[in-house]
Structure 1
Amino acid sequence: MPAEQLRRVNLAYLGFDGRTHRGDLVVAQDLVADVVDVFAELYRQRYPIARMQTVDRYPGAVDEASMRDNNTSAFNCRPLPSGRWSLHALGRAVDVNPLLNPYVSGRDLQPATAGAYLDRSRREPGMLHAGDASVDAFVTRGWRWGGDWRLPKDYQHFEKR
């Protein structure tokens, strides 16, 4: 995606400490209003977010480091295993609390430190589950949730094509 079609959005979010914080997401220009609305709704719901910063804040912009840090992020210039660009590289996907909401496909777990959160019967603040108001904040606006996928399961991931 050309950089001129991406926008940095500064958002308020509720931290796990119960306090208001501000963070940045980079998303496609046409999704800015959606992202602002979704995160305003999550804030109203008091859905906690561990942190929210762009992945370039991590050494080498390493996705695994960002996920291990439970960092909510959007734009990330990374390819899919097929070689095509991911929707993150197009600014059309957001990962929310990725440590608590891991990606799992067979033995592939991302982040690798998220094993305790494979038990989706756990109901802890910041975890995402089908039917949660936090998931619905995205889905009712036309976003797809990776937790609804058969394989892989990507509990952190929301996308809008």
Structure 2
Amino acid sequence: METDALIVLLTILLPLSFIAERITNLIKLFIPDGFLGLGNVRYKEDDPIMEKKRERRIFAISLISGELVSFSLKADLFAIINQGTFGWTTPTTGYSWIIGCLFTGFFLSWGSKFWHDLLEILLEMKNIRRVNVKAKTLEVKQKEVEVAEKASEQPVTLPVEAKPEVKEDKLSLNRIKMLHPKLRQEVEQIYRELVKQRIPVRITDTLRTFKEQEALYAIGRTKPGSIVTKAKPGQSYHNYGLALDFCLLTNDGREATWNRAADLNLNQKADWDEVVALFKHYGWEWGGDWASFKDYPHLQKTFGFSTAKLLDMHSNANVDSEGYVKI
């Protein structure tokens, strides 16, 4: 199955699984314990054996909810795959739609988080951006370097004096001042080292307030657009000034680029990798190393604290005079 067809399938299954989950939650909330011999489904059992039985009852409710949604809307899996549509107006022959609805109901019982994560992975694969360096003077110098390398069959790098000059970026310096007090001096030192190496980097985001995080989390959920974050307010290291995002700059600092292959300082190395390597040297974690949701512009230094612990400290006013959690 092609990626586009999979995205259509997941786009349909995701909202349906949300509906099935809401029905399951309503049953768990309002059906009395012991109703029709159902037993406890609301509260976690201390006894592992009883908890297993409770989990099986919840799974059965989820399966019933999924089938209820599937048959109510005639969400025939075969019609969704073949035509990208569902509903009682979808033409079918025979009773194959019943089997298709049974399959759909079964898949809906897996939960919306499964389909959301799978859809997110597919969209990331489809929407990876490839931005080329457009600055004409840099392109000319890179071609000259390539020609010289082929002629001598030896790696050629330009001396620092011949590389494009990089000026300090005021926006970056201002955003560095919004980081946690324990990180400001270190990041300023890293930034100036990158400028010294003629790597044109910009810090695009540092501290993000809980309110800003809430607005960002709403995109793709309650607001228009594609989902950009899985972190609710308090669940991002940005909320505590312990993370930053960056990009590279071209055209004398006037254009931003996320091209991870760009070599703007002409030293035969990708500038993006050089930025990441320098931050890692100081003990930072890179989002590009994450297994599931890779966040290539993201860097964070957590000092061993989880976001749950930081949120607890913030909620209990364990903060300094500037409002940052005490580390």
Q: TM-score range by the shorter chain?
A: 0.5 to 0.7
Distance 1:17 1:128, change over 3 A: closer
Q: How does 1:68-83 map to 2 (within 5 A)?
A: 72-77=204-209, 78=213, 81-83=230-232
1:88-126: per-residue Cα shift (whole Å, max 9, x none)?
11000010018644xxxxxxxxxxxxxxx5xx5x43549
CA contact (8 A) 1:76 1:88 kept: yes
Cα distance in 1 for residues equivalent to 2:271 and 2:208 = 21
State the percentage of identical aligned residues: 27
Q: How does 1:45-124 map to 2 (within 5 A)?
A: 45-49=197-201, 72-77=204-209, 78=213, 81-83=230-232, 84-97=234-247, 100-101=257-258, 117=259, 122-124=261-263
**Greater Rg, structure 1 or structure 2?**
2
- The aligned residue for residue 21 of structure 1 is 169
What is the CA distance between 1:82 and its match in structure 2?
A: 5.0
- The aligned residue for residue 42 of structure 1 is 194
CA contact (8 A) 1:128 1:155 kept: no
What is the CA distance between 1:40 and its match in structure 2?
A: 1.2
AA in 1 matched with 2:193: E
Cα distance in 1 for residues equivalent to 2:231 and 2:184 = 28
Question: How many positions carry a matched residue from both structures?
Answer: 106
- The aligned residue for residue 275 of structure 2 is 134
**Aligned with 2:299: secondary structure?**
strand
1:45-65: per-residue Cα shift (whole Å, max 9, x none)?
111135x5xxxxxxxxxxxxx
Cα distance in 1 for residues equivalent to 2:271 and 2:297 = 8
Gaps of 5+ in 1: 1-15, 53-71, 102-116
Distance 1:82 1:43, change over 3 A: closer
CA contact (8 A) 1:128 1:156 kept: no
Higher relative contact order (CA 8 A, sep 6+): 1
Cα distance in 1 for residues equivalent to 2:188 and 2:294 = 26
What is the CA distance between 1:150 and its match in structure 2?
A: 1.9
| 1:148 matches 2:263 | no
- Of Structure 1 and Structure 2, the greater helix share is in 2
CA contact (8 A) 2:243 2:299 kept: yes
CA contact (8 A) 2:287 2:295 kept: yes
- Of Structure 1 and Structure 2, the greater strand share is in 1
Cα distance in 2 for residues equivalent to 1:44 and 1:17 = 9
TM, length-normalised to structure 2: 0.29
CA contact (8 A) 1:96 1:157 kept: yes
CA contact (8 A) 2:166 2:195 kept: no
Distance 1:148 1:46, change over 3 A: same
